[in-house]
């Protein structure tokens, strides 16, 4: 199942989207990054890529892929029903092949999300004892 949380994503143009996102601890990054599918990038006015986007090659389980990286372009919030955490400023990583929003290890930690049971989708915020249930997946085709 995986742990998915509901995010509010706000781009620098002011466009706002609410979506579920997979907290992917295997998405290792050096900065806070949110991988977004191209169709979601379009919704956020980030496609076609702006002039400050960089084409980068990243390693994946399926081999190397090229994505566009736009530094510090998104404000991300976790919406958890009874509380909101954020904003956290992060990089947008635009994928041409992925259909789900993925949260990097750095961004997971900065949002205060603690993965308790990844198979069953249980998580909590680092400053609480309440166990929370994963959101349903949302795909951006």
Q: Which domains does the chain have, with CATH numbers?
A: 4-130 (2.40.70.10)
CA of residue 15 relative to chain centroid, distance: 16
Specify the pLDDT at position 79: 98
Instruction: List, in order, residues 6 or more apart from 129 with CB less than 8 Å away.
Output: none
pTM given for the model: 0.97
The rounded distance, in Å, linking the Cα atoms of 89 and 66 is 23
The rounded distance, in Å, linking the Cα atoms of 5 and 39 is 19
The rounded distance, in Å, linking the Cα atoms of 30 and 104 is 9
Q: Closest by alpha carbon to 34, among 67, 76, 6? A: 76
51's tokens? 């002039």
Q: Closest by alpha carbon to 35, among 121, 128, 98? A: 98
The rounded distance, in Å, linking the Cα atoms of 134 and 41 is 24
**Tens place of pLDDT per residue across the chain (141 aa):** 899 999 999 999 999 999 999 999 999 999 999 999 999 999 999 999 999 999 999 988 889 999 999 999 999 999 999 999 999 999 999 999 999 999 999 999 999 999 999 999 999 999 999 999 999 999 999
């Amino acid at each position: 199942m995986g742990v998915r949380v509901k995010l509010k994503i706000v781009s620098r143009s002011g466009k706002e989207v609410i979506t579920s996102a997979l907290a992917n601890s295997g998405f290792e990054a050096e900065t806070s990054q949110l991988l977004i599918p191209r169709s979601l990038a379009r919704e956020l006015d980030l496609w076609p890529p702006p002039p400050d986007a960089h084409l980068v090659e990243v390693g994946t389980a399926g081999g190397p892929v090229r994505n566009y990286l736009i530094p510090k372009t998104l404000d991300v919030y976790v919406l958890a029903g009874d509380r909101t955490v954020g904003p956290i400023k992060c990089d947008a990583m635009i994928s041409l092949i992925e259909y789900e929003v993925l949260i990097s290890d750095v961004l997971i930690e900065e949002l205060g999300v603690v993965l308790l049971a990844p198979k069953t989708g249980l998580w909590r915020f680092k400053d609480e004892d309440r166990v929370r249930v994963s959101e349903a997946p949302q795909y951006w085709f």
